[in-house]
A and B are shown apart, each in its own frame.
Chain A
Amino acid sequence: MSNLFIPNPKEAESIHILREVAAQFERPVLLFSGGKDSITLVRLAQKAFYPAKIPFPLLHVDTGHNFPETIEFRDQLVAELGLELIVRKVQDSIDQGKVSEEKGRYASRNSLQTTTLLDAIEEFKFDACIGGARRDEEKARAKERVFSVRDDFGQWDEKNQRPELFDMLNGKIQVGQNVRVFPISNWTELDVWEYIRTENIAIPSIYFAHKREVFFRDGLIWTANEHVYREAHEKVIEKWVRFRTVGDMTCTAAVLSEATSLDDVVAEIRESTISERGARIDDKRSEAAMETRKKVGYF
C-alpha cells in the first residue's frame, strides 16, 4: 500500500471524461490511429475501468497508406488487452465510388478518411467517438470542446458550441447527432511524451530514430516508397529519422533525429523548435486548413 498518492490533475481529468462517456452514451467507440495520442487514450481507458475491461471497441480508419509498423503494433496491443477492434478501409470507400483518389504531387488519402469514418458511425450507430486530439496541436483545435456535438453530416459549428462549465459534461443529443470526445484536450505534446515515459507505454517503432529511405521537398522529409508521389529529380537518400506524429505516409513528414529511447525523445521534444503539426503536410495547404476540414466532419 502506498501512503501518499498525489493525483496528476490532467490524468484525473481524462479518466473522469472517459467514465462520463461510458455512462452517458449507448454506443461509444475509441478512434484508434496507432499514434501516440490514441495509445495514451487506451492506457487512460484501462485506468478508468480497471479491473473491468475497457467497455467500448476501438475503430481504426485504415487509409491503406499506414506505416506497416503501426498496423503491426495495433494488432499486438488489441490482442494483449483483449479489446474489440473494428477496421474500416478508405480503399472500400474509393471502390464504392464515394470518394476519389487525389492525384499529383501532394496526393493524400488523409481527407478521404472523413467519408469512411462517417459511414462507420452510421453503420454501427456510434453516438460517441473518442479521439486523441489536443488543443495545443493547432489553432482551430484550441476552441474545441471536450464533448463536441456534430450533426448528421459530422459537421462542426464552431459558433454554436455548448459551453463547458466546471467538469460537468453534457452529452445529451438528438437522434442523428453524435459527439466527438477529446479526453486529452488539455494535454500538450510534451505531457503525452512524459506520460508515455513515466508509464512506460509501448509505442510503434517509427517514433524512434531509424534509418529510412527519404527525399526532401519543400524543406520537409518525405518517406520514399510506392505510396508517395515523387518526381524524377527528387533524389532518394538514406537518413536517420523519426516521426513525431503517425499519420499517413503521404502526409506525415519525418524529422532528422538520433533519439532512439524515450528519454532521448522527451529531451528532443523539450528542445525542439518546430511544432508537431509543422511536420503535417495536410495543414500546410493553407493557414486555415484544419478549420476548413473540421467544418466538414474531419476529426
Chain B
Amino acid sequence: MDIQNRKLIKIATAGSVDDGKSTLIGRLLYDTDSLTTDKIEAIERNSKQRGYDYLDFSLATDGLVAEREQGITIDVAHIYFNTAKTNFIVADTPGHVEYTRNMVTGASTSQVAIILIDARKGVIEQTYRHFFIANLLRMSHVVVAINKMDLVDYSEDVFLKIKADFGALVEKSNFSEEQITFIPVSALKGENIARQSKEMPWYVGNTLLDHLEVLEPEDLQESTTARFPVQYVVRPKTEAFHDFRGFSGKLYGNFLKVGDRVSVLPSGNETTVKSIHFFDQKLDSAAPGSSIVITLEDEVDCSRGDMIVKVGEEPRSEKFISATLCQVNAKNLRVGQKYILQHGVNRVLAKVDRIEAKVHADFSGAEESDQLKLNDIGKVQLRLSKPVHFDSYHSNKSNGAFILIDEGSFDTVSVGFIE
C-alpha cells in the first residue's frame, strides 16, 4: 500500500475549550504509532515540567508559542497520520472565540466532522453551534465523540441521555440519522479510541479509529454534474506540440469522457472533448478530483475562469445571487459595499444589495441586521458585474461556494454558500 492506493479521509474536529480535543488527537496519533520518539520524549518532558501524573497528549498538537503560553489552540492546525489502509488529514479547529471562522475553514476542506462533547456537561450551546456549521457546510458524515466517560463512571445512562438530546438537534438539520455516529470515549485513558473499552461493555459499536477506517471516500464524495473550471491554458508552442492548445483544471462532480459533447461558458459554444491528458498519459475518461488537461475538437474561445460542462447539464448563470455568508474577517460587511467575488478560479466584482437577516448559528432562528461582524452568519443578496456559472451549494458543493475579497487589503473576508 502506498500513496497511490491508500485512501484519504479528511476530518475536521470541533469542541469547546476543555472538551479534550487536543488530547483526543494526540491520543489518535499515539495509538496509531504516529508520534516519533523525539515527540513522545518532548511530551513526557513537558508533562513532567507541569507536574502532571499522566501524558498530556494535547502537547502533541498545540503548536505556536502564544498558544502554549495560553494553553489553548488559536487557529486551524493540520495533523497527519496513517494506518495501513488509510491516510488521514485532521483540521484541528479551536472551540473558543473565533470558532465559527476557524471551524468553517477547517470543515470546508474536510468530509467528516468529529464533534466532541464533555460527558459531564452534555449538549451545550457550543454543541449546537458546531453542529450548525457541520450542517451549513453539508459535511458528509458526523461523529459525535462523547468524551471524558471516565469522569462519569462510564455510565450508559449518561451516554444515552446525550444521544437523545443530540437527536433533537438532528431533527432540525438536513442530516439523516445514518450520517451521524455516537461513540463514548475517554481520550485521556484511550477508551474506545483505538482500543475497544472494557469499561463500557454496553457499547458494541466500533472504536473511533475503526469507524473512521471503514468510511469510504467514494461514499463521502457527492456525485453530481461534471464541472470543469479552466485554470490555465497550456500552449507549449514547441515543434512536437505545435498546435496543442489544452485547458488545464481540476474536474469536480462527475466523470468527463473523450467524445462528450460540452458547452464552454460563458460563450455557450458547443464542442466535443477531443482528448484528456494527465502528464504524458492520454486518458479515455477522468474521474472527479483529477487535475487534468483537455483539448476540444473545435477552435472555441476559452480561457481562465471559463467553465466546461456537459451539454444539457448547464449550471445557472446569473448576475444576482442569494447566499448564506459567513464573515471570516474583522472588517464588517455592510449593504452597498463592493468586493471581489472569487467563485472557484473565476473573479468578478460584487456589491452587497441587501442583508436579509443575521442567522443564529444555533438553529434558533434569525434577526434583522444591517451588518455582519466576524463570525456572523447571514443571508445576503449580491449583485455581480458579470454573471457567474454556479449551482446551489445544496446541489453541488464545489460549484456553489465562493469567497469575498476586500478590494483594499485583498484579505478574504467572507465565504458564501449559494442558495
Residues on A lying within 8 angstroms of B by beta carbon are 1-3, 5-13, 15-16, 19-20, 22-23, 46-53, 135-136, 139-140, 142-143, 158-159, 161-168, 170, 172-174, 185-186, 188, 190-191, 194-195, 197-198, 266, 272-275, 278, 287-288, 291
Complex CA distance for A232 and B232, rounded to whole angstroms: 58
Q: A19-B291, A194-B3 are in contact. Are A1 and B244 (CB under 8 A)?
A: no
Contact between A168 and B38, CB atoms less than 8 A apart: no
Knowing A8-B4, A50-B293, say if A2 contacts B283 (CB, 8 Å): yes
Are B291 and A274 in contact (CB-based, < 8 A)? no
Which residue of B231, B237, B287, B410 contacts A20 across the interface (Cβ within 8 Å)?
B231
Q: Chain B 268-280, CB within 8 Å of chain A: the 1/0 string?
A: 0000000001111
Which residue in chain B gives the minimum CB-CB distance to A24?
B345
Known: A20-B231, A139-B64, A188-B82. A53 touches B291 (CB 8 A): no
Chain B residues contacting A22 (CB-CB under 8 Å) are: 232
- Decide: A274 near B248, CB < 8 A? Known: A49-B234, A159-B66: no
Query: B1-39 interface mask toward A, CB cutoff 8 Å, 1 = contact, 0 = none?
Result: 011110010000000000000000000000000001111
Q: Which A residues lie within 8 Å of B87 (CB)?
A: 10, 188, 191
Instruction: Give 1 or 0 for each of B329-348: 1 = CB within 8 Å of chain A CB.
Output: 00000000000101011000
The listed residue (A6, A16, A143) touching B64 by CB distance below 8 A is A143
B interface: dominant SS:
mixed
**Is B101 located at the chain interface by the 8 A CB criterion?**
yes
Q: Are the C-beta atoms of B75 and A23 separated by less than 8 Å?
A: no
| Count of chain B residues with a beta carbon within 8 Å of a chain A beta carbon | 79
Interface core residue of A3, A158, A165, A273 (most chain B CB under 10 Å): A165
Q: Return chain B residues, CB-CB under 8 Å to A194.
A: 2-4
Q: Decide if A288 touches B65 in the complex (CB within 8 Å).
A: yes
Q: What's the nearest-Cβ distance from chain A to residue B11, in Å?
A: 13
Known: A20-B345, A23-B345. A168 touches B403 (CB 8 A): yes
What per-residue 1/0 map shows which CB atoms of B259-299 lie under 8 Å from chain A?
00000000000000000011111111111011101000000
Segment with Cβ contacts to A, from B103-111, B196-204, B358-366: B103-111
Q: Which residue of A3, A46, A167, A198 contacts B109 across the interface (Cβ within 8 Å)?
A: A167
Quote the shortest CB–CB distance from B36 to chain A (angstroms).
4
With a cutoff of 8 Å between Cβ atoms, the chain B residues found around residue A51 in the complex are 234, 236, 238, 240-241, 244, 246, 277, 280
Contact of A186 among B66, B78, B287, B340 (CB under 8 A): B78
Contact (A5, B279) CB under 8 Å given A165-B401, A168-B344, A172-B410: no
Which residues does chain A contribute within 8 Å of B240, judged by CB atoms?
A: 51
Known: A170-B412, A278-B38. A186 touches B89 (CB 8 A): yes
| Cβ-neighbour of A142 out of B78, B244, B248, B410 (below 8 A) | B78
Q: How far is the CA of A2 from the CA of B276 in the complex (A)?
A: 11
Give chain A residues whose Cβ lies under 8 Å from the Cβ of B345: 20, 23, 168
Q: Is the CB of B63 within 8 A of A143?
A: yes
Contacts of A11 in B (CB 8 A): 3, 291
A85 to B2 Cα, complex, angstroms: 32
CA separation between A186 and B9, bound complex, in Å? Answer: 12
CB distance from A288 to the nearest CB of B (A): 5
